[in-house]
């Protein structure tokens, strides 16, 4: 009816993200997103928009429309782990904003590959063995770097594309291993990197022995924990120790180069 007041408008504005969790798949990105969104100064998109890899032709306004509303004091965050291995993603994100803060969650590349394979196997039980997919010729030790599960873990190679556009000071690396053993410590560093107060502390976590990783308490006072979904913490497929050893040897030079580049030893050796 004419003259009636407009409906309640939600406070805040939809903004392009100031920080993006760009990788890596099966590294712990969902945990980082769920943990950081507890912070009152952070609003995060829950789903993966895949804008900078699959939906770029839809344009920035489409991307912005997906974002949660934020107040001036809040940061907008999104995560799509496949960005880290997408050749065009660094340039596209740089073109959106050269000030974008990037978060990369990394974990031991061999464990990451097994986790990746375990996830695929749960959806496609007919796929070849992990060993069969990992090697072009196992007796010669020739690893198949065209298989995505192997390729993603070559972090030093992918990082080169990012460093053409962003300084290391704008990229924060989270240890997927420490995210399990010391979630508050790792999230403290993430909060520092984002320039927000350290609100998320060890009071927010408890360790779930069944799943084997930390769960989030809803708030410091609430006793009701929130754990990640059923697909998280799956039991990995058993892999021949010799195969693991060969893959460790394969990744070693990439790992060392990665440590040297980022100035951080993740102790995967």
Catalytic residues: 26
Residues 6+ apart with CB under 8 A from 12: 43, 69, 70, 71, 74
- The response to whether 185 counts as a known ligand-binding position is no
- The response to whether 115 counts as a known ligand-binding position is yes
Helices (H), 9-152: 29-36, 60-66, 89-96, 109-123, 130-134, 148-151
Tokens representing 144 are: 């198949």
Tokens representing 133 are: 């997919």
Dihedral Cα 79, 104, 172, 88, nearest 10 deg: -80
- The response to whether 107 counts as a known ligand-binding position is yes
- The response to whether 234 counts as a known ligand-binding position is yes
Q: Give the Cα separation of 160 and 174 in Å (integer).
A: 18
- The response to whether 172 counts as a known ligand-binding position is no
- The response to whether 189 counts as a known ligand-binding position is no
- The response to whether 218 counts as a known ligand-binding position is no
**Numbered residues of the known binding site for 3'-phosphoadenylyl sulfate:** 26-30, 107, 115, 232-236
**Numbered residues of the known binding site:** 26-30, 107, 115, 232-236
């Amino acid at each position: 009816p004419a003259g009636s007041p407009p409906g309640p408008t939600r406070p805040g504005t939809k903004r392009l993200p100031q920080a993006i969790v760009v990788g890596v798949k099966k590294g712990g990105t969902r945990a980082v997103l769920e943990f950081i969104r507890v912070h009152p100064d952070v609003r995060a998109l829950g789903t993966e928009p895949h804008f900078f890899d699959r939906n770029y032709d839809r344009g920035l306004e489409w991307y912005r429309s997906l974002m949660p509303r934020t107040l001036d004091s809040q940061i907008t965050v999104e995560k799509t782990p496949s960005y880290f291995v997408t050749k065009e993603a660094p340039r596209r994100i740089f073109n959106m904003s050269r000030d974008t803060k990037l978060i990369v969650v990394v974990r031991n590349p061999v464990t990451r590959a097994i986790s990746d394979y375990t996830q695929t196997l749960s959806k496609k039980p007919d796929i070849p063995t992990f060993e069969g997919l990992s090697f072009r010729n196992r007796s010669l030790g020739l690893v198949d770097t065209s298989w995505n599960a192997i390729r993603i873990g070559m972090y030093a190679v992918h990082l080169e594309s990012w460093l053409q556009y962003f300084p290391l000071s704008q990229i924060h690396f989270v240890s997927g291993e420490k995210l399990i053993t010391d979630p508050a410590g790792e999230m403290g560093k993430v909060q520092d990197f984002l320039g927000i107060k350290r609100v998320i502390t060890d009071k927010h976590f408890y360790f779930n022995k069944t799943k084997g990783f930390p769960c989030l308490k809803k708030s410091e006072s609430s006793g009701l924990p929130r754990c990640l979904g059923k697909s998280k913490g799956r039991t990995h497929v058993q892999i021949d120790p010799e195969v693991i050893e060969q893959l460790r040897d394969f990744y070693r030079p990439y790992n060392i180069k990665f440590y040297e580049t980022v100035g951080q030893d993740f102790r995967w050796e």
